[in-house]
Structure 1
Amino acid sequence: MGPAVRLSRSIAKTPLDPEFVKVGASGRRWTYEEMIAALPGRDGGDADGPRFEPSRMTGVVLAPGLVHLTYESVFGGNRARPRSLWRRRSGETSWRMYYHQATPVPGGEGSEHS
């Protein structure tokens, strides 16, 4: 989530699965290559700008090597409820984000999970 990762293509590749897919709030689908290329210019890429503030992070093991991660985030006063799938393939030591989607939270809504 931090600018150091977003600004470096080589570092940003590390936590993303080569088959990574993101669905943005607009409904746009992003592939691995599109996301790696776009990260430096997206929110949170400015070292002196606002940063994502995650909270209430929880994970559920769906199957061996597959975890569903949920949390809440605040960025520049806007709240969201991101969901992601992380997988670790046989023989690998690192978990990689395979799928990500964040739903904006309407203003005034409580911070409970739904």
Structure 2
Amino acid sequence: MADERDADIPDVIASELRLLEHEVRASPAALRELLDPEFHEFGASGRVWDLGSILTFMGSPDDHKEPPEIDRIRGVRLADDVVLLTYRSRRRDLTVLRSSVWRRRDGGWRVFFHQGTVQPLHLSES
């Protein structure tokens, strides 16, 4: 649920959702358009990623082929050039609460930080 008064929020949400598309994940050039050069992530697996490691992983045989189901997506502007997204992703028996910090850089929005936290099954319906 984006703030309709903020025209950048829908663009940032659309960019986040693009990162879930297999075609984008398999293209280092497309990923570099969306990932900040200083990108880092605390993954739901507990692994810490940086730009180089995530570029190697995304689109690899170990990467998921089907995007997860997304709901409860919300964007909030934190500063002129910074937006926080929060949402929930679901795959089979795995629900993950996610947050991404996007910043405007070189004329476009790029994800600077991402975190995924596994939500226990007994809490995932709330």
TM-score, reference length from structure 1: 0.83
Pair 40,69 (structure 1): closer, same or farther in 2 beyond 3 Å: same
- How far apart are the structure 1 equivalents of 2:125 and 2:80? 30
Unaligned runs of 5+ in 1: none
Return the match for 1:66 from 75, 82, 97.
82
User: Which residue identity does 1:79 align to in structure 2?
Assistant: T
Task: Tell me if the contact between 1:2 and 1:52 (Cα under 8 Å) persists in the aligned partners.
Answer: no
- Partner residue in 2 for 1:98: 112
Unaligned runs of 5+ in 2: 1-19
Return the match for 1:9 from 3, 22, 28.
28
- Partner residue in 1 for 2:3: none
Which structure is higher in helix share? 2
Task: Tell me if the contact between 2:101 and 2:111 (Cα under 8 Å) persists in the aligned partners.
Answer: yes
- Aligned-residue CA RMSD (Å): 1.6
State the shift of 1:2 in Å: 1.2
Tell me how many residue pairs correspond in the alignment: 106
Task: Tell me if the contact between 1:51 and 1:76 (Cα under 8 Å) persists in the aligned partners.
Answer: no
1:21 aligns with 2:40: yes
Percent identity, please.
35
State the shift of 1:111 in Å: 3.9
TM-score, reference length from structure 2: 0.76
Task: Tell me if the contact between 2:93 and 2:121 (Cα under 8 Å) persists in the aligned partners.
Answer: no
Q: Which 4+ stretches in 1 moved above 3 angstroms?
A: none
